[in-house]
Amino acid sequence: MGKKLLLEHINVPGIETLEVYRQKGGYASVEKALKTMTPNDVVEEVKKSGLRGRGGAGFPTGMKWSFLFKPEGVERYLVCNADESEPGTFKDRFLMEHIPHSLIEGMITSSFALGAKTSYIYIRGEYFYVARILEKAIDEAYAAGLLGKNILGTDFSHDCYVQVGGGAYICGEETALLESLEGKRGNPRIKPPFPAIAGLYGCPTVVNNVETIATVCPIINMGGEEYAKIGIGRSTGTKLISASGHINKPGVYEIELGLPVEEFIYSEEYCGGIINGNKLKAVVAGGSSVPVLPAHLILKTEKGEPRLMSYESLSEGGFVSGSLIGSGGFIVYDETTSIVKNLYTFARFYHHESCGQCSPCREGTGWMEKILHRIVEGHGKPSDIDLLWDIQRKIEGNTICPLGDAAAWPVAAAIRHFRAEFEEYINHPEKIKDVKHYYSVNAISA
């Protein structure tokens, strides 16, 4: 069994309640930080831990915290990004639903480190029921003196609120999230200024992912150096992976970073292998935005070394033969999958979710979807593949926020690794006409 830090007590009955959570050692990091450490000590421990943002970008959390601007007399905010919307990702929902106090505890400890008197958890609107679970947990924490005035009898006072969104993937981008939290359209802001200088209501703000904030608790409890011993190289600690697609055991798994991808897919402890004993075709390893990799490149790197579940190993080879760990949304496709049709669902997604502010993304995402739709329907033109390639290239890097890149990368990777399949769709539409390319719903669940 791999090391478990976040999900250690997942199977303990009643772990969603404050009582059981505290029996299992919950809120120790709040006790330790508020009573025995200075805010700066907490930041230092997080820096030492090597923790990298778990939302997708992988930026070192301690460094992000140390960038926070701290002028006298100006409010600072911690905002939790619980707008989990990246296709293939559902780990934050799992954590908040089952162990809500791990997030609340992390919010308090992190807010103490940052000197934030108020924090907000911005959760996607579709997770309304999870927002209720969090609100209940917050009420319990207030009642126990863990939130509100003079927490645990110390000088530190803190309020934490939950805010529900309205349904928009783009609000996972931190400045769009802040706009939305201010009651506006979720349009990403033009940077600079970065939130660390001018974020929520123009005040210095740190925005962190749910898992990142929850991970602060074990880091403070065990110490940053101890935490850094877990994992591999600069990929320290454990990570929640959302596994879905054609595997026997979809779900959320906590893995120690550095686990071989092959073991993750095939071992009984994790995904339990491919359904029906089928062959693996491809994997999207870190949520829909990251490049899809064919079986031979996800199991082994181009150099022939085993591919590991870590920031470095998954990106080994750049985009030519590698990918990214992203948000940890691990989608597995077996030999029956149509990469082209699957890409079409991604293109449709990004088109639907583009905010419309800047021209390359607003116009380009819709154009790519239309072309892919034509190809999937059997009306593709031979020039469409090169056209798709050119459109994605003109979106990538040229937009206000990373949604443009996120929409471009999957298209580029699918063409890079599965060009022949596109050609098949275009040159022999009759062959794919009646093929479903997906499992009938009862075929798996039965």
CB of 53 to other proteins, least distance (A): 18
Question: Which lies closer to other proteins via its Cβ, residue 51 or residue 406?
Answer: 406
Is residue 333 a contact point for other proteins (CB under 8 A)?
A: yes
Is residue 421 a contact point for other proteins (CB under 8 A)?
A: no
Distances (CA, A) of 35 to 150, 231, 377: 12, 29, 64
Is residue 355 a contact point for other proteins (CB under 8 A)?
A: yes
* Total residues at interface with other proteins (CB under 8 A): 90
Stretch that binds other proteins, among 259-267, 299-307, 341-349, 412-420 (CB under 8 A): 341-349
Q: What is the DSSP string of 375-413?
A: HHTT---TTHHHHHHHHHHHHTT-SSSTHHHHHHHHHHH
CB of 229 to other proteins, least distance (A): 30
Distance CA 389, CA 251 (A): 34
Question: Which lies closer to other proteins via its Cβ, residue 143 or residue 387?
Answer: 387
Stretch that binds other proteins, among 55-63, 299-307, 356-364, 416-424 (CB under 8 A): 356-364
Distance CA 14, CA 139 (A): 16
Question: Which lies closer to other proteins via its Cβ, residue 200 or residue 259?
Answer: 200
Stretch that binds other proteins, among 150-158, 211-219, 229-237, 393-401 (CB under 8 A): 393-401
Is residue 115 a contact point for other proteins (CB under 8 A)?
A: no
Is residue 165 a contact point for other proteins (CB under 8 A)?
A: yes
Q: What is the DSSP string of 194-256?
A: PTTTS-GGGS-EEEEEHHHHHHHHHHHHH-HHHHHHSEETTEESEEEEEEEESBSS-EEEEEE
**Which of 401, 415, 443, 412 is closest to 195 using CA atoms?**
401
Question: Which lies closer to other proteins via its Cβ, residue 213 or residue 240?
Answer: 240
Site residues (CB under 8 A) for other proteins, limited to 168-187? 168-169, 180-186
Q: Amino acid identity, residue 186?
A: G
CB of 356 to other proteins, least distance (A): 4
Burial environment of residue 190 by CB neighbours within 10 A (0 to 12, 13 to 18, 19 or more): exposed
Q: Which of 217, 341, 407, 411 binds other proteins (CB under 8 A)?
A: 341
Question: Which lies closer to other proteins via its Cβ, residue 77 or residue 227?
Answer: 77
Structure tokens at 18: 């404050």
Is residue 250 a contact point for other proteins (CB under 8 A)?
A: yes
